[in-house]
Amino acid sequence: MEPEPTDDPAATGPAETPQESPSQDGAQVPDGYRLAEDPAGFTLAVPEDWTRDERDNGVFYTPGDDSSLVQVFEVTEPGITPLESLEAASEHLASQPGYEEISLTGTGPSEGASDAVGADAAELVYAYDSEELGFRKQVVDCVFTADDGTMYAVLVAGPADEWPVQAEQLAAALAHFAVS
């Protein structure tokens, strides 16, 4: 219900409160986020001031640099499960300076994830020392089979000292994930 308009000059605040954008399943996008209907064929919530960039290794949303990011890409290895995909990723990432696997789980769908995020899902949390950026990054990577049968990875990275912001950003992205 919207607030009643008022003619009282002593009233404070706007007569109407702007509403958040609803996602395709009707859930409200959290404050500070926007719904990104991506031309690559998916929709998700991302921080409102982040911009899109398409690269060889997926679609990225960033605040203008790579200090923090949301990355989305299709996992195309045939016959691999989400958990196997993340086990292989962790093995590959082990060569990064200061690499630490914090957790690796076959999670099923994350709590609050949209119906488009299938039950076949896994999550990897890790940290490493970014030589390029000069600080330690912490990452949460969720791989899942979407309701259309496509396997996606949604990865959120940021400075390790900002954790659990990355987990919160992933939760928002998955809560509004849809395949178009």
pLDDT at 20 over 80: no
In this prediction, residue 110 carries a pLDDT of 76
Evaluate if residue 2 carries a pLDDT over 50: no
Q: For the domain with range 33-179, which CATH number is right: 3.90.1010.20, 3.40.30.10, 3.40.1000.10, 3.10.20.740?
A: 3.40.1000.10
- Is residue 159 within 8 Å of residue 136, measured between CB atoms? yes
Q: What is the pTM of this model?
A: 0.84
Q: Is residue 2 classed exposed, middle or buried when 0-12, 13-18 and 19+ CB atoms within 10 A define those classes?
A: exposed
At CA 53, angle to CA 85 and CA 173, rounded to 5?
Answer: 55
Question: Would the pLDDT of 21 be above 70?
Answer: no
* Model confidence pLDDT, tens digit, residues 25-56: 457 999 999 999 999 999 999 999 999 999 99
Residue type for 44, please?
Answer: L
Q: What is the mean pLDDT of residues 126-143?
A: 97
In angstroms, rounded to a whole number, what is the distance separating the alpha carbons of residues 60 and 163? 19
Measured CA to CA, the distance from residue 142 to residue 154 in angstroms comes to 5
Residue 24 pLDDT > 90: no
Instruction: State the greatest distance between any 2 C-alpha atoms of the chain, in Å, as a whole number.
Output: 66
Q: What are the Cα distances from residue 101, in Å, to 57, 75, 89, 178?
A: 22, 20, 11, 29
Name the residue ranges covered by the structural domains of the chain. Answer: 33-179
Distance between CA atoms of residues 160 and 58, nearest Å: 22
**pLDDT for 26:** 55
- CB-CB contact of 13 with 47 (8 Å): no
Q: What is the pLDDT of residues 62-91, one digit of tens each?
A: 999 999 999 999 999 999 999 999 999 999
